[in-house]
A and B are shown apart, each in its own frame.
Chain A
């Protein structure tokens, strides 16, 4: 086998991704073939004896399954999660911490800011005891000062779930590198993909050069050897810091029309956060496979905006009235009026499936039922609410509202 491995020149001929699809830097390649020249040759003989493979034939999968066998008895990792203190991504760190702890890894969650701040009163921060009672550590501090905050503890893996721009993330990356962290994971965003007429966004597609996350992704790829980048979209799940399905429930339980901009046919991707967490965990447990890869951190299905409204209504067991409008014509900012992008925004998790053997479990009809149960349990259905922007839209469209 060694003789074969040295002849890596023909490895490029075995793969057919057109070069134009590779993003810059060229190391941000969705498949590990550049970093693992052996894989193409291991794949050839491996794929010849189909009985020896649980999966068929793509070479990257061969390598992934090969690594898994080696990593089955993997050592437990010491993981640091630098977690944002607000916004849609906060819940990712929460679930990831719990999953790692459940798998026997050591976890420290460093939340940005002060333990005493008002932000800590909101979920998931008001539930961090679930981390400590499972054996995890929780700290607070400034990411620019991370080395001191963790007081000299060494880690195998760092997940930065706090960065929109290089200024914020660079100190964490630099500290991780200098303190001997082996693997750096970064939560970026699928929002950096350039809009396209040909969905879905797949890893390797062109991104907006001026997006803050892009600068971070490039820096990490330059500085670290074992890195993986995750680009999420929207998520649901208990402990979410930002409204997602709740926006629909608020209107449905109050018998209010649901105003959706545009045609309502726009596709989006709404994942249960456990899918994101499982993808991150796989990256920790299969570091060689994950290395130097970008992963769309999303569910494996799209839903239309109208479809999401309908599914929320079904989960609630209530009817729904959807009303479409043109934000410009009504004179409102769609970003303020509606929690999802007013365009197709749909990425698929192909790299995670191909490279990590990840499988999606998000099942919106079922998951939303569970979400609605919690929505009612916390009494949000009875909470008095104002719908000023909605009213402006409905007024413009002359749609009556039940009082």
Chain B
């Protein structure tokens, strides 16, 4: 069978559902294929790229844009590369048509009216861009303290203005439950992404306001798992009702109890450009200052970092995905890392020499309210095999690559969220020096 029946002479084999979907997209955009408008042109090219990749037949007409800029991605293609988000958009779109279940289902199920609670600081900045690219209508619910949109480092002016022109803002305080209920009810949304919720009470008004909600997608935390000698944490493992993150657990329970179609993602430590939790930044400050890295106890404690862009991808992959219905997924990097190893990885990523690491016994110090080290002093890592097997999701970034991405787009350009504070370091180093002398 030749041709998918779109009557546009695209020449794409139409046996595969994905191809049909792509072709339909192509059919719709065929009129604009030779458009002079760059955005429409890019969209049409994306669809063409999708279809041609699936069929591996050469398109009867060559693409209008230079193939080198949109070349078949190497195995390391990124949705958002250090060299620019504009390049990334096409390799991202390739992923959309990639037969991994969720994404093509999204394309088939149409655009969603989507609300993101938050979305202006970190995860949401990347997630909202992916959703807009997917063609969804995206509203950010924030108090407006931070700018609703900001141009990302490496993002082209045209990509940013496209995004800025599409994104919507609903200004409000989510702690004002009455306002949440009335404003959401007035708007009506198909899908809610709650990426800044901490307590179950904050979610009640959202559910009350949207009785026909198709999906509630929640950013939970692997911090809910009960500490164990047996690791990694898996989604079925015991959770700790007394943990610092019990609000997240309570929210998950509420979602289950309310019978809504929910999905919960549990990240471990998130990192990447714009991170406001000083994870990689903590190491970069010390490396830049040429200071030793003080690490508590043995340094063999194992933790796990997950790149924010991989998390954003996971959030998109669960949208409209039956397999994600009422499911919890751990989302983080595929490999774990020791504390000592993380210090070395940050150095490698930033092009610094191998750091001097000083181990110390935290019990010998009183740091007051200050945190001497950004990670919990224990093993803490979760298996992401469920997300890989059920969703077909896979992290794009390995640790050093991801840290380099963060460094190149953020700290390495001179931007960071928290000023360096070496008070606790000096306490440790002074004592260590005193012991040696």
Q: Give A contacts to B, CB under 8 Å.
A: 3-4, 7, 9-10, 13-19, 43-45, 47-50, 55-59, 61, 196-200, 202, 262-263, 265-267, 300-304, 306-308, 310-311, 344, 350, 353-354, 364
Binds A, one of B97-105, B246-254, B273-281: B97-105
Q: Which chain B residues (15-69) contact chain A, with CB distance < 8 Å?
A: 15-18, 53-57
A263 to B391, CA, bound (A): 38
**In whole angstroms, how far apart are the Cα atoms of A362 and B340 in the complex?**
30
A44 touches B344 (CB 8 A): no
On chain B, the residues within 8 Å of A7 by CB distance are 55-57
Expressed in whole angstroms, the Cα–Cα distance for A202 and B388 within the complex equals 15
User: Is B424 interfacial (CB-CB < 8 Å)?
Assistant: no
10 nearest A-B pairs in the assembled complex, by CB-CB distance? A307-B229, A197-B341, A57-B392, A57-B101, A263-B298, A48-B17, A7-B56, A10-B56, A198-B335, A47-B99
For A200, the chain B residues whose CB sits under 8 A away are 335-336
Contacts A49-B17, A198-B337, A304-B229; is A56 near B323 (CB within 8 Å)? yes
Tell me whether A47 and B100 are in contact (CB under 8 A): yes
In the complex, whether B399 has a CB less than 8 A from a CB of chain A is: yes
Binding site for A on B (CB under 8 A): 13, 15-18, 53-57, 72-73, 75-77, 98-102, 104-105, 228-232, 297-298, 300-302, 322-323, 334-338, 340-342, 344-345, 379, 383, 385, 388-392, 394, 396, 398-399
Name which of A43, A58, A197, A300 has the most chain B CB atoms within 10 A of its CB: A197
Given contacts A44-B54, A48-B17, contact A14 B392 (CB under 8 A): no
- Chain A nearest CB from B388 CB (Å) reads 7
A303 with B230, Cβ < 8 A, contacts A18-B76, A57-B391, A198-B335 known: yes
- CB pair A311–B336 under 8 Å, yes or no, is no
Cα-based distance from A265 to B231 in the complex (angstroms): 12
* Min CB gap A171→B, angstroms: 38
Taking the closest CB of chain B, its distance from the CB of A17, in whole angstroms, is: 6
Partner of B389, one of A9, A10, A61, A301: A61
> Could you tell me the distance in whole angstroms from the C-beta of A402 to the nearest C-beta in chain B?
25
The complex places the Cα of A61 from the Cα of B388 at a distance, in Å, of 11
- Minimum CB distance partner of B392 in chain A: A57
In the complex formed, the residue of B with least CB distance to A299 is: B230
Bound form: Cα–Cα A35–B302 in Å: 36
CB A66 to nearest CB in B, in angstroms, measures 15
Contacting residue for B392 out of A45, A58, A199, A202, CB 8 A: A58
- Whether A265 contacts B337 by the Cβ 8 Å rule is no
Chain B residues within 8 Å of A308, by CB: 229
Known contacts A45-B15, A262-B298; decide if A14 and B76 are in contact (CB<8 Å).
no
CB distance from B29 to the nearest CB of A (A): 22
Cross-chain contact A198 with B53 (CB below 8 angstroms): no
CB of A302 within 8 A of CB of B75, answer: no
Nearest-neighbor residue (CB-CB) of B101 within chain A: A57
Whole-angstrom distance between the Cβ of B296 and the nearest chain A Cβ: 11
Taking A50-B101, A344-B338 as contacts, is the C-beta distance between A44 and B18 under 8 angstroms? Answer: yes
If A18-B76, A197-B345, A263-B298 touch, whether A45 touches B16 (CB-CB below 8 Å) is yes
* B17 CB, min distance to chain A CBs, angstroms: 4
Which A residues are CB-close (under 8 A) to B56?
A: 7, 9-10
Please name the residue on chain B nearest to A61 by beta carbon: B389
Shortest Cβ distance from A391 into chain B, in angstroms? 26
- Smallest CB gap from A53: residue in B: B101
